[in-house]
Amino acid sequence: MKLPIYMDYQATTPVDPRVLEAMLPHFQNDFGNAASRNHEFGWKAEKAVDTAREQIASLIGASAKEIVITSGSTEAINLAIKGVVEMYGEKGKHIITSEPEHKAVLDTCKHLEKQGCEVTYLHPDKEGRVSVQQVQDAMREDTILVTLIWANNEVGSINPIREIGALCHERGVLLFTDATQAVGKIPVDVEADNIDLLCLSAHKLYGPKGVGCLYVRRRKPRVRLVAQQDGGGHERGMRSGTLNVPGIVGMGAACALCEQELSEEAERTSKLRDLLEDKITGELDYVTLNGSREHRLPGCLNISFSFVEGESMLMGINDVAVSSGSACTSASLEPSHVLNSMEVGDELAHSSIRFGIGRFTTEEEVNYAANKVIDVVTRLRELSPLYEMVQEGVDLSTVQWQGGH
């Protein structure tokens, strides 16, 4: 076993060696531009891109013509939400989303609010999930789009997308789902799941960084978008720019592998996740699971350790790469907006750690990480007067603290 150990698979994944192998020829020998229609170099590149589109579409139950290549999920999110608002703006300006969305969705919605859109931000339940009823109650005559995350990137909770999609189709409202964390980990079928628009990113499923795509439904209903990047009219006019052929080939290969190995990988990562949780909770008290126990991603475990600061913990387990519940996006130590929306409470949010288990995680690594966490939490709690008081049976909520704060 090599140190440090990588347990941050929700942030990014290593490129699978089989994916890299598929990509390599397209950097040197087969380096053509997929838009060059006059010679073999271009034809070869175009054929490679077409194959990748088939592989991506197959994983999500779409047709290859419905796949629009982007630089990743953030770009796909901008294209989907802004593209729908510009195209269907005359029908209405109301969007429904949820508080624990990824920042790419929230920031895009905030931008559109400045331009006159109205956005309803649904408040999730304690598990970080949104219900069909909530979406139904929020719908109005002028609602044109529901944009909901499929699986949350911080706590792994999965939303009832299929049922929400059915409701949207009944009401003639488009459904866009940020499926960046879901695709390749759980079964996704855009037809059965009633999805009109969906984004994914190659680097979350063992492909390269800097490439992703947007699925855009072609029939029942045919979804139309206003392009957000103009140029040579590539990608059926929805996204101009020379295609990143090696990246696209890698994304296709990564999707094909996910499709082949989905169920066994889900089973293996679930087992490792449960092993990690059982070991930790078997040795430590005051450990809280964040998210849903029943509806969650196989490889995601987000837990809070009372009476410990997340930052101190990260320093203690510095040879295990994980994420903490304080926003790493800024210098401030604000608790994560996802945990805030779930009303986890500042203390627990600050002491939360997200463990991401993936394709290359071993049982040996899980055991090492669990022992390290147990060790560090035990040590930090020995320094905590609050933990000592609780051990002695003091109810902290009744304590009168001295002095102002």
Q: Which amino acid is at 125?
A: D
Catalytic residues: 328
Distance separating alpha carbons of residues 70 and 379, to the nearest angstrom: 47
Distance separating alpha carbons of residues 10 and 273, to the nearest angstrom: 13
Joined together, the tokens standing for residue 97 give 């989303």
Distance separating alpha carbons of residues 145 and 314, to the nearest angstrom: 39
Distance separating alpha carbons of residues 136 and 329, to the nearest angstrom: 33
Q: Which domains does the chain have, with CATH numbers?
A: 5-9+261-377 (3.90.1150.10), 17-258 (3.40.640.10)
Instruction: Please give the model's pTM, rounded to 2 decimal places.
Output: 0.94
pLDDT in tens, the chain (405 residues): 999 999 999 999 999 999 999 999 999 999 999 999 999 999 999 999 999 999 999 999 999 999 999 999 999 999 999 999 999 999 999 999 999 999 999 999 999 999 999 999 999 999 999 999 999 999 999 999 999 999 999 999 999 999 999 999 999 999 999 999 999 999 999 999 999 999 999 999 999 999 999 999 999 999 999 999 999 899 998 999 999 999 999 999 999 999 999 999 999 999 999 999 999 999 999 999 999 999 999 999 999 999 998 888 999 999 999 998 764 444 556 789 999 999 999 889 989 999 999 999 999 999 999 999 999 999 999 988 888 888 888 887 777 777 655
Distance separating alpha carbons of residues 255 and 281, to the nearest angstrom: 35
